[in-house]
Amino acid sequence: MPKLTVNRTDFGWTFAAFGAVGLSGLVINQVIATQLGVTALGRYNMLLAVVIIGGQIGVMGIHSSVLFHTPKARSEGRSTSEVVCSGVLATIFTSAIATSLIYVGGEIILRSIGNLYYLDGLRAITVGLFLFPINKTLLAHINGLQRIPTFSILFSGRFILLAATVAVVTYNVDNDQVLPWTITIAEGAIFVGLVFANRSELMGLDQWRNMRGMFNRHFRYGLRGFLGTTLLDLNTRLDIILLGLISGTRSVGIYSIASLFAEGLYQAAVVPRYNFDPVVTSLYVQNKLGELQETIGKAKRQIYLVAVPVVVLCNVMYPLIVEFLFSKELADESWPVFLILSLGVGISAGYLPFTNILQQSGFPGRQSMLLVAMTLTNLSLNVVLIPFFDVKGAAIATAISWVSVVFYLRRLSNPILGFKV
């Protein structure tokens, strides 16, 4: 029987991974902004957003199915090899289709408008775009097995490699034309690491003819949760994409500075999700709903006790840190954005680790409803507010969407679990 608790060592690993991700993001933004300018930073983040959102479309929710079925199989005493092998095969299929459509569509659109930078950038990220969904599925399996140290190293490894390659390229090339290749390099290296980490269970790939049942279950589960899993990552980049389309790349660059630190706070609140997701499934499958409610309630109280003072401290330190790393001008322009975003994180912090609870309880359709509601809130407010308030409008819209998840989650979870999260 797998463990049903989250120990402190596992939390230590996930928060160490979060720290590495945050530091890597800081390095990427600082190096590009100071060496190549804010516009170059905005263009790089736009291409990175294409990989993250396009990759989320490419995985078609299959990684969520793997994350649900892996701990479920463990709780029922069954082998998990078939789960990951069929999941990888399904993801290769869906990723190939999505990558081809994005590449061909991008070629047509970018050629027609004569945007050579993004055209070259699209070609550079295409292999990374194909590998990103496969990597998500392999990571989900490791997470489902509660191999938290391995998961943490490989999860953070993507961002560490991005930071390292960005630094090497930026300091050796005096333009940003080569930067998009760093995304493909990082995804390729992580793919190799993930295959090695899953090598024992991937040995079952030669039995693919006998995996039709699990293969079909992944597709059905993924399709029901497709909107939810796609919109989860879209919400982290929707503000940047809309800001770029409406206000231009300089606004994206300024917003990216504040968003970098606010995203760090957001991820600090979300990161316990990787510990709780397999535990939620195990408790739900074994009908231990009282224990699940107690686990959630205790976690929420502890998170809020930490989140409130951290948000206050971060706002005090923000202008000093940004002025030191970037410039006083960027600190002054981006601080109001960070303040708004950090308030959104602080209010919703206790609920963010449980944004996957509907999916992990076997209801991916309701998970999609949750994320659709959150995304529509985010999208509509960004479209309305950005033209009037520029970067501050994007911040207000995103912060409100983060807070809205509290109300949507409580409403949708009650009929399934018998209590409001």
Alpha helices in 199-288 (DSSP H): 199-202, 212-247, 249-270, 273-285
Residues ≥6 apart with Cβ < 8 Å to 370: 228, 355, 358, 405, 408, 409, 412
Q: Is 1 among the domain residues?
A: no
Least confident range of 10-19, 48-57, 141-150: 10-19
Q: Is 399 among the domain residues?
A: yes
Residue 176 CA neighbour count, 13 Å, CB half:
25
Q: Is 81 among the domain residues?
A: yes
Least confident range of 216-225, 307-316, 382-391: 216-225
**pLDDT tens, 83-112?**
999 999 999 999 999 999 999 999 999 889
φ, ψ for residue 271, nearest 5 deg: -55, -30
The residue among 91, 107, 99 whose CA lies nearest residue 53 is 99
Least confident range of 206-210, 233-237, 395-399: 233-237
Q: Would the pTM count as exceeding 0.85?
A: no
Region 336-365: mean pLDDT is 91
Selection from 32-46, 250-264, 275-289, 305-319 with the highest mean pLDDT:
305-319
User: What is the chain's mean pLDDT, rounded?
Assistant: 87
Q: Is 3 among the domain residues?
A: no
Least confident range of 116-125, 173-182, 200-209, 276-285: 200-209
Q: Is 310 among the domain residues?
A: yes
Q: Which domain holds residue 158?
A: 8-417
Region 232-241: mean pLDDT is 70
Q: Is 402 among the domain residues?
A: yes
The whole-number pLDDT of residue 1 equals 42
Q: Is 2 among the domain residues?
A: no
The whole-number pLDDT of residue 234 equals 64
Tell me the C-alpha distance between 17 and 157, whole Å.
8
* Res. 330 pLDDT band, cuts 50 70 90: confident
Tell me the C-alpha distance between 392 and 133, whole Å.
32
Tell me the C-alpha distance between 133 and 52, whole Å.
9
The whole-number pLDDT of residue 130 equals 97
The residue among 379, 421, 371 whose CA lies nearest residue 61 is 371
The whole-number pLDDT of residue 339 equals 95
Q: Is 62 among the domain residues?
A: yes
The residue among 166, 238, 194 whose CA lies nearest residue 87 is 194
Is the pLDDT reported for residue 41 higher than 90?
Answer: no
Tell me the C-alpha distance between 259 and 279, whole Å.
31
**pLDDT tens, 267-283?**
888 888 888 888 888 88
The whole-number pLDDT of residue 385 equals 92
The whole-number pLDDT of residue 2 equals 45
Tell me the C-alpha distance between 256 and 252, whole Å.
6
Domain count, the chain: 1
